[in-house]
Amino acid sequence: MIHLNQVGFCVDMPKKAIITGKGENCFVISADNEVVFKPSITDPHFDAASGDTVRIVDFTEVRKPGTYFLFADGLKKTFYINELPYRTLTSALVKAMYYQRCGCALEEKYAGCFRHNICHASKAVLVDDKGIIDNSVVLDVSGGWHDAGDYGRYIVPGAVAVGHMLYAYEFFPKAFQDELNIPESGNGVPDILNECRYKLEWMIKMQREDGGVYHKVTTRYFVPFIMPEDDHEDLLLFRVTHTATADFAAVLAQACRVYKAYDKTFSEQMLKASIRAWDWLERNPEFEPFVNPPNTNTGPYGDKNCEDEIFWAACELYNATKEECYWKSMRSLIDKVDISKLGWPDVGGLGSLCCLFSSENLDADFTNKLTERFLAAADRFYTKHQLSGYGTVLEADEYIWGSILPIMSNAIVLICAKLLTGKDEYQIAAQAQLDYMLGMNATGYSFVTGFGENAYRFPHHRPSYADNVDDPVPGLVSGGPNKNYPDRACKDLIPPETPPAKFYLDHTWTASANEIAIYWNSPAIFVTAYFNSLTINKKGY
């Protein structure tokens, strides 16, 4: 088989494919049937994660934009070279967040055939830790994004998704110049910020007067595969938690910086809300992990500790205010957190991005040690990339639920290492993770709906199933292979001896391998924006 990036390659960047055959009669043929290149092929290498013996085909020297065919072992794959191959993809990854909007109608002029009526606009009532309704707390918490394939809305993963997107914009603003055809388009604000604001305004609704932030709003159980406007179950509000409050404090402090140039009043509102959340954490230092109450079953998004969330919040608030209390917290926590993680359970890496790229005049010793640790993590990821047959920054036992998250998050770390050092090897390894998402993986699927010759089509996503449209909602990133926690569908349908990197089904009914999530789209937005920006900065598009 031939596995490669099915969306496209930049003109001046590495172009590689993985083959599982011998590489006989390997040629690159142009669209008008001319042999343009005979690529080099590496010796065979066994890849433990997939069970494949692979060879790398390198056709980097092909640089002219156009459509090409790679032939090897009597097989053929189409590939594309483009000045801006990820421009449309980046926009689609952001627009996918619009399709996840809750509490409003998605009108046909913006959503096309994926339109739907207003949903989840009723008020939510608090449920206590025993699962009993508390009618003394009834709130309007409409808005935000549906988190994943379900219709729940959760502070913890939502904050991380917005954090990824805001950093993508801060680092690579030129990659977000296109209008996305959302209701706010044309208002003078980049549409990625318009979309993030829709989530941020919902998050503000989730804050209690004393500063604490409610963990989530969902129905009591996951609803069937129906359209969102057909979900009329009661909405429940779940208690204030430390992780939700700390993540809220972090991302609103970050957002106050980003939105200051566009809406000073909104920026100041977010900073005040962030400080109130921090003050609640100061008054309530004893961490209480969240678990679902009895007789409820929606995403728990629990955590074993809150140190990394508080570290991120301290970094962002110190950047915003320069107050000593936040700096003291940063110093006390820096050695206790993993400063290279950027997923919802571990957010220390987002604090690192703040310190390394957004903050000024930090203590040199603090910054130097943080940089050293951050680059050491990037070096570990680079080593994994080199050892993997497919170039993936995962070992065989790391294909977890949502394996695309560590892959794309590690790509962010590699990109940032490139920005810090200028070393090309980090960028090359990061590109391999993007290539993985777009088809250079052991399954042969592109893990983004609507992008690639063999893009997956059946996400575990209620609207894509229930909307009577043949195609899925576009721009949604699949969680990908997961052998660590397979659900019943995967256990029943995938042979148990299947290697981890192939433990995947393009099947609606498997959440463990084919669900979507806003916090899988968001790191992909960062990565694609980076590679877009390289060409934009060179060519001035």
Q: Please, are residues 498 and 487 in contact by the beta-carbon 8 Å criterion?
A: no
Query: Is 541's pLDDT higher than 60?
Result: no
Label residue 486 by pLDDT band (50, 70, 90). very high
- Joined together, the tokens standing for residue 277 give 């959340």
Q: Please, are residues 391 and 429 in contact by the beta-carbon 8 Å criterion?
A: yes
User: Is residue 282 included in any domain, yes or no?
Assistant: yes
User: Is residue 299 included in any domain, yes or no?
Assistant: yes
Average pLDDT over residues 382-399: 97
- Domain extent at residue 301: 87-443+514-539
Question: Which tens digits make up the pLDDT trace of 121-173?
Answer: 999 999 999 999 999 999 999 999 999 999 999 999 999 999 999 999 999 99
User: Is residue 117 included in any domain, yes or no?
Assistant: yes
Active site (annotated) includes residue 58 = no
Q: Please, are residues 149 and 225 in contact by the beta-carbon 8 Å criterion?
A: no
Please tell me the predicted confidence (pLDDT) of residue 540. 60
Please tell me the predicted confidence (pLDDT) of residue 499. 98
Question: Which tens digits make up the pLDDT trace of 214-235?
Answer: 999 999 999 999 999 999 999 9
Question: DSSP letter at 55?
Answer: E
Could you give the CA distance from residue 334 to residue 186 in angstroms, rounded to a whole number? Answer: 42
- Joined together, the tokens standing for residue 103 give 């509490």
Report the number of distinct structural domains present in the chain: 1
Could you give the CA distance from residue 69 to residue 351 in angstroms, rounded to a whole number? Answer: 43
Label residue 518 by pLDDT band (50, 70, 90). very high
What is the identity of the amino acid at 112? G
- The one catalytic residue in 116, 120, 460, 461 is 460
Active site (annotated) includes residue 150 = yes
Question: Which tens digits make up the pLDDT trace of 336-386?
Answer: 999 999 999 999 999 999 999 998 889 999 999 999 999 999 999 999 999
- The one catalytic residue in 47, 147, 150, 316 is 150
CB atoms within 10 A of CB 395: 13
Could you give the CA distance from residue 114 to residue 455 in angstroms, rounded to a whole number? Answer: 18
- The one catalytic residue in 58, 83, 506, 507 is 506
- Joined together, the tokens standing for residue 396 give 């065989």
Please tell me the predicted confidence (pLDDT) of residue 359. 83
User: Is residue 156 included in any domain, yes or no?
Assistant: yes
Average pLDDT over residues 258-283: 98
Query: Is 389's pLDDT higher than 90?
Result: yes
Q: Please, are residues 449 and 473 in contact by the beta-carbon 8 Å criterion?
A: yes
Please tell me the predicted confidence (pLDDT) of residue 536. 81
Query: Is 289's pLDDT higher than 70?
Result: yes
pTM here is 0.97
- Joined together, the tokens standing for residue 404 give 């695309």
Q: Please, are residues 273 and 252 in contact by the beta-carbon 8 Å criterion?
A: yes
Which H helix or E strand runs over 163?
helix 155-171
Average pLDDT over residues 473-483: 98
Please tell me the predicted confidence (pLDDT) of residue 445. 98
Query: Is 308's pLDDT higher than 60?
Result: yes
Q: How far is CA 2 from CA 395, 440, 442, in A?
A: 22, 8, 10
Could you give the CA distance from residue 169 to residue 187 in angstroms, rounded to a whole number? Answer: 17
Phi, psi of 38 (to 5 degrees): -110, 105
Question: DSSP letter at 187?
Answer: S
Residue 24 burial (C-beta neighbours within 10 Å; 0-12, 13-18, 19+) = exposed
What would the DSSP string read from start to end of 437-504?
HTT-STT--BSBTT-STTB----B-HHHHHS--SSPPTTPBB----SSS--HHHHHHS-TTS-GGG--
User: Is residue 68 included in any domain, yes or no?
Assistant: no
The CATH number of whichever domain residue 196 belongs to comes to: 1.50.10.10
3-class state of residue 243 by DSSP: helix
Please tell me the predicted confidence (pLDDT) of residue 40. 94
Please tell me the predicted confidence (pLDDT) of residue 535. 83
| Relative orientation angle of helices 242-259 and 264-283, to the nearest 10 degrees | 160
User: Is residue 468 included in any domain, yes or no?
Assistant: no
Please tell me the predicted confidence (pLDDT) of residue 361. 83
User: Is residue 449 included in any domain, yes or no?
Assistant: no
Q: Please, are residues 276 and 305 in contact by the beta-carbon 8 Å criterion?
A: no
Average pLDDT, rounded, for the chain: 97
Q: What is the percent of the chain with per-residue pLDDT over 70, rounded to a whole number?
A: 99
Active site (annotated) includes residue 461 = no
What is the identity of the amino acid at 523? P
What is the identity of the amino acid at 385? H
Query: Is 256's pLDDT higher than 60?
Result: yes
Q: Please, are residues 420 and 493 in contact by the beta-carbon 8 Å criterion?
A: no
User: Is residue 492 included in any domain, yes or no?
Assistant: no
Query: Is 539's pLDDT higher than 70?
Result: no
Q: Please, are residues 257 and 292 in contact by the beta-carbon 8 Å criterion?
A: no
Q: How far is CA 401 from the centre of its chain?
A: 14
